[in-house]
Copies of this chain bind each other. A is one copy, B any other.
Amino acid sequence: MKRFGQVIQLQSGVLESYKQYHAVIWPEVAAKITECNIRNYSIYHKDGYLFAYFEYHGANFAGDMAKMAEDPRTLEWWAIMKPMQAPLDTRLPGEWWADMEECFHQD
């Protein structure tokens, strides 16, 4: 299992809408997340920053992410979410949410 921490910002004024969508995530999008071996997935907000934490239980993260990115319903979902998000200028090439560096872990 590999843990991920990721960060992105929200455009101003969209927090309530973003939360509303995530309170009733589309079942097909939720199912695809599970199918792609993501577990224990949380998103937190403070001051316009979103932090995501999740655990990847598969054996091919790039492959699973590619599979997710081919799912029509997931693409529809992202087409609504992405305009609400403001990715960090410091994200790496190919990133949308920026991966964070793990500084500490204790089970």
Contact = CB atoms under 8 A, between A and B. Distances in A.
Could you say how many copies of this chain the assembly holds? 2
Interface in A25-39: 25, 30, 33-34, 38-39
Contacts of A39: 107
A35 to B, nearest CB: 12
B7 A42 contact: no
A3 B42 contact: yes
B46 A101 contact: yes
Contacts of A61: none
Interface residues of A, number: 36
B5 A103 contact: no
Contacts of A100: 44-46, 51
A46 B98 CA distance: 8
A43 interface: yes
A70 interface: no
